[in-house]
Amino acid sequence: MFDALPERNGVSWNAMLAAYAQTGHHSVEAIYLFHSMQVEGHTASEVAFTTLLSIWSQSGQVETGRLFFSRMICDFSISPGREHYCTTIDALGRAGHLGQAEELLKSMPVLPESIDFGSFLSSCKLHRDFGRGAQVAKSIDPSKSAPYILLSDICRC
């Protein structure tokens, strides 16, 4: 169906990437589609990079995700937004690179919010790193309960 479109635009390319992400098609297909998009003269958008980073986070392909996070900045002059940071923090954390995930969390150009901390704390729970989770929890807004619930879950592990 996508191949039959008379004209493809950013929306159709992003929709196709999202479809790959939702149906479990990962790295090879996503990279091929990404390159095809460029060959046809379409510039990658922030949305495309969010989807790509999500694909690699879910599939555990941390190095590919890191490469595309860097390419987004260097090759496409796209400043990463919160969603790019959060997805990359999630990918690093899931893969057990908690130190790198924490560094990225602390280096965000915007103040981390509850969702950013939650992503990191979920990884601390997964890898049973209470110390790191407790240290980061000191930075969390006390009026937000979700990260503290995750922290208490880490303690139970």
Residue 93 and residue 72 share a domain: no
Could you give the C-alpha distances from 31 to 3, 12, 133, in angstroms and in order?
17, 16, 34
**Residue 60, amino acid:** G
Residue 4 and residue 74 share a domain: yes
Residue 56 and residue 109 share a domain: no
Best CA proximity match to 40, nearest among 10, 15, 62, 63: 10
Best CA proximity match to 115, nearest among 72, 82, 68: 82
Q: Are 128 and 157 in contact (CB under 8 A)?
A: yes
**Residue 47, amino acid:** V
Best CA proximity match to 129, nearest among 94, 83, 105: 94
Instruction: Give the tens place of pLDDT for each residue, 96-131.
Output: 999 999 999 999 999 888 888 888 999 998 999 988
Last-in-domain residue among 47, 80, 113: 80
- Looking at the structure of the chain, the number of domains it has is 2
Range of the domain at 99: 89-157
Residue 55 and residue 115 share a domain: no
Q: What was the pLDDT predicted at 157? A: 56
Residue 136 and residue 62 share a domain: no
Q: What was the pLDDT predicted at 57? A: 85
Residue 95 and residue 34 share a domain: no
Residue 97 and residue 32 share a domain: no
pLDDT confidence bin for 147, thresholds 50/70/90:
low
Residue 98 and residue 154 share a domain: yes
pTM: 0.85
